[in-house]
Structure 1
Amino acid sequence: MTLKTPLENWIQRIISKENDPVPLTRSSLEAYQLQKLRETLFYTRENSPFYRHLLRDAGTDSVRRIEDMARLPFTTSEDLKKYSLRFLCVSQSSIERCVTLQSSGTTGPAKRVFFTREDLEHTLDFFHHGMSTLVNPGDRVMILLPGGGRPDSVSDLLSRALARMDVQSLAPGPDPQNTPDAVIGQGITCLVGAPVHVLALARCGHGENCLKNRIKSVLLTADNIPSAIVDAVESAFNCKVYRHYGMTEMGWGGGVECDARDGYHLREADLFLEIIDPETGRPLPDGESGEVVVTTLTRVGMPLIRYRTGDISRFHTSPCSCGTVLKRLDRITGRMTDDDCLVSGMSLTLPVLDEALFPLPGVMDFRAGLASCRNGDSLTVTLGLSGDADPDAVAAAAREKLAAIHAIRTSRIQLVIELPQPGSSGLLTPGNRKRTLEDNRPKSTRRYSD
């Protein structure tokens, strides 16, 4: 029997009146969300210079139903880059943490996201209850995320949340060569990390041989999560692998899979999510794929209203087998513009490359970029390999897999496979960066898929 997500009881306790607890229903949750949406609109109009201006044409009572949110304007990534301080609803002295986000390959202004102590507490609370799907009191977790020693980093917040469950944690950061010995020496039972870093642990040196059956659960987070990596890690460690969805703008935590591992259950007491048509901005019904849009419901320092995440997903239409009333967000299938490029009029995305290359034994990571050449376009793929891999054999297999991709097979794109430098670790992605398909072609000769 599939255990119900612990997020349901947590959310039920949040929205129930102190002396009048009621079972959580979809209607009671949506009534709570509507109240919080209205409070957030009033709060931001009163305190945020940015939203006072953005919402100037919206009536003071413009949202009477959840569906009325569709009338409000969007907040974009560019807004955060240009006007980050104008989003603030509190004085800068009340800000506990500021996160600067610089998109890879860009030189313009970075996004800055601000959190108060109360905002960070909401994230701690979500991490605490979300992780109870994977671990129990007495378990030991290794956190393979950057910033382990920095106060209020994701690693630090997660470590503090686990301590509330009587779960000890270790946060050495991603280091596939030395981690297996630390896992054994510290009695680690659960791993949390970015997909390529956990895969590197499974495929480096003695990682698979000595860690199989020692790890009982893994949480993958912080980047696109290919099914090929989930399968490889489950096979290597003989464990259950769960996915987490979130981003800094959401307060890091967005949603986590339950024991059914078939979509993300969301922190619906803190976040309101919509799926929109990325071209028209029109809300889409459950079951249709579009861009994820988020509105924060409990943020104090820097609330966000209808923030366009760029992530592509959909809401499931059928109930989860765990029996919860919470909605289920499907796995993220791509990102707007960042990794969706057109090659000879056909879409080529990073997730497509992921599913082609990560099943290959010995592949720990890869970097991919499009460029213009004399005879058209070229795709250069740099492979990060484990130490025991046969570079020539893996390169040949990678070329064969890539050549079978529809957008590559039916175009005249030139494939270039590059092998790692001798002695390299096999990891090509810095711990604090998301992987992307880089388009280095002149802007006049390329266009992104809409």
Structure 2
Amino acid sequence: MPTVPLDTPADQLRSAQLAAVRRLLAAVIPGNPFYARKFSGRDPREVDSMEAFARLPFTTKAELTANQAEYPPYGSNLTFPIEHYTRFHQTSGTTTGRPLHWLDTLESWEWLIGCWHTNFALFGLTQKDRLFFPFSFGPFLGFWSAFEAASRAGFLTMPGGGMTSTGRLRFLLEHRCTVLFATPTYALHLAELAAKEGVDLANSAVRAIVVAGEPGGNIPATRQRLEAVWGARVFDHYGMTEMGPTAVEAAGRPGEMYLLECDYLAEVVNSRTGLPVAEGESGELVLTNLGRMGSPLIRYRTGDMVRVATSPDPTGRSWRRLDGGILGRADDMLHVRGNNLYPSAIEAIVRRFPAVAEYRIHVDHTNPLADLRLEVEPASGDGNSLADNIGRAIRDELFFRVDVTAAAPGSLPRFEMKAARIVRTAR
């Protein structure tokens, strides 16, 4: 359970966070080579206010990638000798092309497990729930930490590795699982298979779907489609292998994600200037994990765009909320013939068409002005009229024309992990 309750007054919460930051810096600066060099000449005792903390330099993924290349294979962001570490994980590498390797001590792992226990409480899970994880358990952090946390919390926890997607679907139904953990893409793929098998998922035992790893849970059309075909409540979750489970929706509060402020210090900054944005404005999320001492991240620029809700929380919780969840990635914005948009804007339109089984975005940078083309795969048929209707909807709502073509049923790739739906052609 969180050490700082959700209804702690904001001033007491900030005071507790500052105390945690000071403990983190006191432990990290002397013994962690990465931060000892990065914060050279700084005395952690001088960080006596949030303003002083905000003067520390940012940490970026590019820095971490370069550091691991310089000190392979794990880099120098290790507070303790290597013998103290017990867990290895790595990122997907989809944003930089090179996965980050990440080690955790037993103490850091316990902290991660505690974050998930907080999440389970916010989801409103009970001991009657049966949790299903339909994934092959590779080095990605999220499934391991959530699975182990669920088992320790006393839930009947079902692994789905080593099965085909059809096998997983049958397993879920046979064991009457009530909570599914998946990417939005994979949850939709299972629904696609169920339709082909004549299975009515809306009448299954599944009552909740926890989605993470990609946009979708915060996109209304995708959420509505998932909830309709599964007959279940969707909970959006946000986290990163290198950071940990960071924000989550709560029962009764759809469309907003609570930052786990008992375990993280969050800032929102202008992605160009690095300065704090005004209250209620969107900006880049910057995070510090307060309990992952073995491999910490301090003022880490996530690249994810968010907007903190300004309306009072009717539940009385003081933890900040992300209005609309993750809005997009700063480096994912598409610049197409004078128009700037996040891929989620395309998905928000495409997912309103139930006949779409899958889609793919092509961005061609070979000309001075980038061109965008969209492939849509119908569940059946040739899809030409479907492509025309989607093209018209994009033109009417986004105010520019996109070439939309139909792909043959079953021709576009399916994804178990993070979907890679954007194909870029370089100059």
| Among 138, 141, 160, the residue aligned to 2:131 | 141
Q: How many Å separate the matches in 1 of 2:286 and 2:198? A: 39
Q: How many Å separate the matches in 2 of 1:204 and 1:97? A: 35
Whichever residue aligns with residue 148 of structure 2, its letter is R
| Among 172, 177, 194, the residue aligned to 2:160 | 172
Residues 41-60 of structure 1: pairs in structure 2 closer than 5 A: 41-60=25-44
Deviations 1:303-337 (A, max 9, x none): 11100000000211123232212211221111011
| Among 225, 235, 249, the residue aligned to 1:257 | 249
Deviations 1:81-132 (A, max 9, x none): 011412111122222223333533855x442222222222222222223123
| Among 70, 93, 108, the residue aligned to 2:83 | 93
Residue 104 of structure 2: aligned partner: 115
SS in 2 for 1:408: coil
Q: How many Å separate the matches in 1 of 2:318 and 2:176? A: 36
Residue 333 of structure 1: aligned partner: 327
Residue 17 of structure 2: aligned partner: 33
Note the C-alpha offset of 1:364. 3.4
Q: How many Å separate the matches in 2 of 1:258 and 1:102? A: 27
Deviations 1:193-218 (A, max 9, x none): 10111122233343785211322111
Note the C-alpha offset of 1:153. 4.6
Residue 274 of structure 2: aligned partner: 281
SS in 2 for 1:365: strand
Residue 194 of structure 1: aligned partner: 183
SS in 1 for 2:203: coil
Which range is displaced more, 157-166 or 373-382? 373-382
Residue 217 of structure 1: aligned partner: 208
SS in 2 for 1:27: helix
| Among 46, 66, 69, the residue aligned to 1:62 | 46
Q: How many Å separate the matches in 2 of 1:208 and 1:74? A: 52
Residues 229-240 of structure 1: pairs in structure 2 closer than 5 A: 229-240=222-233
TM (norm. structure 1) is: 0.83
Q: How many Å separate the matches in 1 of 2:193 and 2:7? A: 48
Deviations 1:381-431 (A, max 9, x none): 333444x4653343333333334353633xxxx6252514x655x6533x3
Deviations 1:207-266 (A, max 9, x none): 785211322111111111222111011122222111111111212x11111122241112
| Among 159, 164, 167, the residue aligned to 2:147 | 159
Q: Does structure 1 residue 75 correspond to structure 2 residue 65?
A: no
Q: How many Å separate the matches in 1 of 2:86 and 2:300? A: 22
SS in 2 for 1:98: strand
Which range is displaced more, 280-289 or 204-213? 204-213
Q: How many Å separate the matches in 2 of 1:37 and 1:298? A: 9
Whether contact under 8 Å (2:365, 2:424) holds in the other structure is no
Which range is displaced more, 98-107 or 179-188? 98-107
Identity of aligned residues (%): 25
Note the C-alpha offset of 1:374. 6.8
Note the C-alpha offset of 1:373. 5.8
Q: Does structure 1 residue 428 correspond to structure 2 residue 393?
A: no
Q: How many Å separate the matches in 1 of 2:47 and 2:34? A: 19
Gaps of 5+ in 1: 1-9, 17-21, 443-450
Note the C-alpha offset of 1:168. 1.3
Q: Does structure 1 residue 392 correspond to structure 2 residue 384?
A: yes
SS in 2 for 1:329: strand
Whether contact under 8 Å (1:213, 1:239) holds in the other structure is no
Q: How many Å separate the matches in 1 of 2:30 and 2:118? A: 32
Residue 6 of structure 1: aligned partner: none
SS in 2 for 1:361: coil
Note the C-alpha offset of 1:43. 1.8
Whether contact under 8 Å (2:256, 2:321) holds in the other structure is yes
SS in 1 for 2:285: strand
Note the C-alpha offset of 1:297. 0.8
| Among 401, 410, 435, the residue aligned to 2:393 | 401
Whichever residue aligns with residue 202 of structure 1, its letter is A
Q: How many Å separate the matches in 1 of 2:274 and 2:193? A: 45
SS in 2 for 1:254: strand
Residue 426 of structure 2: aligned partner: 441
Q: How many Å separate the matches in 1 of 2:168 and 2:355? A: 18
Whether contact under 8 Å (2:89, 2:101) holds in the other structure is yes
Q: How many Å separate the matches in 2 of 1:101 and 1:231? A: 29
Q: 1:235 to 1:23 in 2, by over 3 A?
A: closer
Q: How many Å separate the matches in 2 of 1:281 and 1:66? A: 16
SS in 2 for 1:249: coil
Q: 1:365 to 1:62 in 2, by over 3 A?
A: farther
Whichever residue aligns with residue 327 of structure 2, its letter is T
Q: How many Å separate the matches in 2 of 1:358 and 1:155? A: 26
TM (norm. structure 2) is: 0.87
